[in-house]
Chain A
């Protein structure tokens, strides 16, 4: 795969810096009591970090629709296991 399709070295460093910054944010937020929202914020930051890794480090950004499909479909199943389990644990 060419350098063009996978992004420049500068891009990788920017993404890396963003990942480190988001990790710092995760730690800082954990000291603030937001109740149930603590989990939501932590998961949201983690999702952004995972997206950055997938898009840039795993080159999803430059892949075709088929690979995008295989990357996104499992997220629906992840939502399913979380939703189905919450349907029980929140309403038991």
Chain B
């Protein structure tokens, strides 16, 4: 940004579509990302409900097997690539990283806007692939993906573009955090959300090119017949899995680390206590990012990989639990003897800890070689994944949306409705997915439209749970819309939080702060004398 601001207009005041389409304001770009990704959350959610509808009956009743395959592929691909990866980093991250470090914008505002429009180009290509929709599952495994008549090359090109957008966003955030911090904002005075986002950005920049290259290789095999993965011509289908998971395992930390950052913000605010173990939480983000690159092979224990590689990846997998547990124990220590209040952001943050702990503790069953052979590709994996990603990341996202809603919109939410929605989401989620641990443990395989009658009761329970969950989410977003339309004006700092975004107006002015703040303290000194760092 050049020079000091001349005006103090709210960032939402300018009207007209051009003011959004051409904006280089990180906050508006963040809002555009949020709206886009939430739209895909709903579309992906509709596919999930269609799956649950089909699974009400042991026999295929409503859709063909092919349609079922398409539904779970699109549910996975949209939720992963168009919602859960970009939602927190590109949406909330874009909005709050510059505000957290006391800057007026990101380091490269024009690149930021470009990354959004590349994302749009990517999802348009993904939508174009629906003329011959994918039925491979979101993992695109060869050899099937190299042979199916579905539009694999089109969809993978769309994801290639989305990946490019993700790299540009990560690059922008790394430079922003290094170069744009306000005077006095040392690394150890940064809010923990930033540490999570910094670790996330590094993964985005390092890992995403690998999946881009992998999809290019797949496209070359499909279009030009270059046999990278076809064993009949000297290729290796397991090689695809190596490349795919070298990206796709670290990327689960792209999903979860920003959510953990949100939890680290919400817990101390609503406990009115300094965060416990600031440095441990901060550096555990980097440790998770690093360790996440070492364990991709644990997705491939039944693929025919070498026994030594199996043992190696299984052994390393257990190390991921250490920095993850460091975070969870520090959050619990923060809660201890705090003056806890249960507003909606805190309810979702506590839900995150509970559900993520269940998801995390079921991980070792899949990381251990012996039990993974039994549980691989069963509903146990589906349950584990949803407990970590939906129970973790999405609950963290909901916590962030409720926490920052007053800042982003300048309006307060109806707290009572927010709590009702939370109760429905919590109940619906657990009814849906805890049941899947049981069906998976009993041996029901995933990705089939039909199943043995002995799994019927569990599947009906899961489907009922998914309906409750859907109602809860609809109530939550109805509350958001009502809040935007009719909510009472939000004060600058309704939660009495200490991070910098709360020290400016709600909604913020275009330039974020009337003057660049000078930071003299860490942002978690609740009930402490001023002037200390972590």
**In the complex, chain B residues whose CB is within 8 Å of the CB of A74:** 206
Q: Does A89 sit within 8 A of B, measured CB to CB?
A: yes
Q: Which stretch from B59-67, B90-98, B263-271, B302-310 is at the chain A interface?
A: B302-310
Chain B residues contacting A91 (CB-CB under 8 Å) are: 306-309
CB neighbors of B among A48-84 (8 A): 66, 70, 73-74, 77, 80-81, 84
Given the known A-B contacts A74-B206, A81-B210, are A87 and B308 also in contact in the complex, defined by CB atoms under 8 Å? yes
Cβ of A92 under 8 Å from chain B: yes
State whether B309 touches A81 (Cβ < 8 A): no
Say yes or no for B239: interface residue by CB 8 A criterion: yes
| A85 located at the interface, meaning its Cβ lies under 8 Å from any Cβ of chain B in the complex | yes
Give min CB distance, B259 to chain A, whole Å: 23
Please classify the interface of chain B as helix (H, G, I), strand (E, B), loop, or mixed, using the class held by over half of its residues.
helix
B178: chain A residues within 8 A (beta carbon): 66
Contact with A along B195-214 (1 / 0, CB 8 A): 00000000000110010000
Question: Which residue from chain A places its CB closest to the CB of B174 in the assembled complex?
Answer: A70
A85 engages B242 (CB within 8 Å): yes
Q: Are A84 and B297 in contact (CB-based, < 8 A)?
A: yes
> Could you say which residues of chain A place their CB within 8 Å of the CB of B243?
81, 85
Instruction: Please report the total number of A residues contacting B with Cβ < 8 Å.
Output: 15
Q: Which residue of chain B has the shortest Cβ distance to A66 in the bound complex?
A: B178
Asked whether any CB of chain B lies closer than 8 Å to the CB of A4, the reply is: no
CB-defined contacts of B276 to chain A, threshold 8 Å: none
B304 contact from A85, A87, A92, Cβ within 8 A = A92
List which B290-331 residues lie within 8 A (CB) of chain A: 293-294, 296-297, 304-309, 312-313
Q: In the complex the two chains form, is B242's CB within 8 Å of A88's CB?
A: yes
B166-199 interface bits toward A, Cβ cutoff 8 Å, 1 = contact, 0 = none = 0000000010001000000000000000000000
User: A87 to B312, Cβ gap below 8 A?
Assistant: yes
B-chain residues with CB within 8 Å of residue A80 when the two chains form the complex? 293-294
Flag whether B238 is at the interface (Cβ < 8 A).
Answer: yes
**Chain B residues near A88 (CB, 8 Å)?**
238, 242, 297, 305-306, 309
A-B contact pairs, 9 of them (CB 8 A): A70-B174, A73-B206, A84-B296, A84-B309, A84-B313, A88-B297, A88-B309, A89-B306, A91-B308
Residues on A lying within 8 angstroms of B by beta carbon are 66, 70, 73-74, 77, 80-81, 84-85, 87-92
Q: Which are the 4 A-B pairs with shortest beta-carbon distances?
A: A88-B309, A91-B306, A92-B306, A87-B309
